[in-house]
Structure 1
Amino acid sequence: MMSGVWLAVLLVGAVSMAMKAAGPVLLGGQELPSSMQRVVALMAPTLLAALISTQIFSAGQALTIDARVVGLAVGAFGVWRKWPTLLVVFLGAAAAAITRLIAG
């Protein structure tokens, strides 16, 4: 199962890079219009967010809310408050672990 996740991550990364490279190749050295540059810049973060959300809110074929959501909420709050990245990761992981410990 885990190898399938990593394969999906690598595949999405490769497709994202190929799509970013396709623009300059197809335009033959011309600049992309500014509207297209904004779209291309947002493709990778959007795909990453989709992968993360499917991993957090799913268990097999079912929608689930569990300790991972608590960790995500704590991490999102830390990012919103502009805490250091290492602290955000640590607090998110700790919140998920404590929730699993309490929920049993």
Structure 2
Amino acid sequence: MPEVDLVLAVLVLAAGTYAIRLGGVGFGGFRLALRLEQWSEPAVVVLLASVATTSALYEGSDFAGWARVVGVAVAALAAAVRAPLVAVVVVAAGVTACLRALGVH
């Protein structure tokens, strides 16, 4: 039942995000403390980076293989040079597929 755990985690995070947004905008102009606001933006970046890194490196509890790691690295480079999202995805998938076709897993 890992799918149920994943759905539950996404729902909890969505509810928490909505509550924070609602608290910052509504309820008589209540705003989060300045330190919390300054800390929360980098925390979101770190959280997303850690999820992306884990997804890039692992498939379940096993190493995903070098083809996926290289594909994600190529995607990061394409994004860094501000390529369109479609191009980033296509290039990453193409590099990963080519490496797997060459026997790199």
Tell whether the structures are fold-level matches, with TM greater than 0.5: yes
Structure 1 CA distance, aligned partners of 2:53 and 2:12?
Answer: 15
Rate the CA distance shift 1:100–1:9 in 2: closer, same or farther, 3 A: farther
Partner of 1:14: 14
Partner of 2:39: 39
Q: Deviations over 1:38-73 (max 9, x none)?
A: 322344443232222112111333445421111111
Contact kept? 2:23, 2:30, Cα under 8 Å: no
What amino acid does structure 2 have at the position aligned with 1:66? W
Q: How many angstroms does 1:102 deviate by?
A: 0.7
What amino acid does structure 2 have at the position aligned with 1:74? V
| Higher alpha-carbon deviation: 91-100 or 47-56 | 47-56
Rate the CA distance shift 1:8–1:71 in 2: closer, same or farther, 3 A: farther
Partner of 1:67: 67
Which stretches in structure 1 are left out of the alignment for 5+ residues? none
Structure 1 CA distance, aligned partners of 2:96 and 2:5?
Answer: 21
Partner of 1:76: 76
Q: Note the aligned Cα RMSD (angstroms).
A: 3.3
Is 1:52 paired with 2:52? yes
Contact kept? 1:20, 1:40, Cα under 8 Å: no
Structure 1 CA distance, aligned partners of 2:38 and 2:80?
Answer: 23
TM-score (norm 2): 0.68
Structure 1 vs Structure 2: percent identity of aligned residues? 27
What amino acid does structure 2 have at the position aligned with 1:97? A
